[in-house]
Homo-oligomer: A and B are copies of this chain.
Amino acid sequence: MVKRDRPTLTERRAEELRLEIARKAVEIFVADGDTSVTVDRIAEAAGVSPRTFHRHFPAKEDVVRPIFRLSSTQVITALRNAPTTGDVVETLVAAWVSQLHEGTLSDGERQFLKLMASTPQYRLRWMEVDDELSEAMAEFLRERVALGDHPLHRSLPAYLVVHATRHVFDYWILSDSSEDIADLLRDVFRTVLAGVEATRPVPTGDGG
């Protein structure tokens, strides 16, 4: 499902248009305080026809996908470009915080994520990026942490890191916490990685 090939100009333009429509939808969701706005009104605000809207977004709820895809792409890029030395937990925290403006959310962004977290059909679109993030996280961890050879040992830590992140965002957004998101992420990443380290396979001495 992850596109590795360089997108064509047409694809890039289509993705830009989708992102523009998505941002209009988000503006309206936040202004209304709910997601009840019609496709017709979103399309009108974005300057496209309802038909164009539906060509890019089969269901109305699909309109938020470009927002979450952009965030996850930013995190994945930060992970891929991160140095292979240095503290793993701090590198992970930095990758997540890199997608936030000044390390935090604006009131509008928080209100938007609160709507997404509490509305099942939208929540699903948010959770869709978890698989892609898990894959990038697994690549990242394999280069930095002794994981062993069993498929579960190779995949579980990345999966736990991504789900711990999801849990932190849920807590932070739904409880209106004023705590520093970086501190919360640091805390849960430490828990997951301390468990991996404590139970890591004994090195065999052949470098494997």
Contact = CB atoms under 8 A, between A and B. Distances in A.
Interface of A: 124, 151-152, 155-157, 159-160, 163-164, 167-168, 171, 175, 184, 187-188, 190-199
Q: Is the interface of A mostly helix, strand, loop or mixed?
A: helix
Contacts of A184: 152
Nearest to A200: B191
Contacts of A171: 151-152, 155
A160 B184 CA distance: 15
Nearest to A151: B171
Given A192-B192, A195-B196, 17 more contacts: A155-B171, A156-B164, A156-B167, A157-B191, A159-B164, A159-B167, A160-B160, A160-B164, A160-B191, A160-B192, A190-B195, A192-B195, A193-B195, A194-B195, A194-B198, A195-B195, A195-B198
Most buried by B among A152, A160, A184: A152
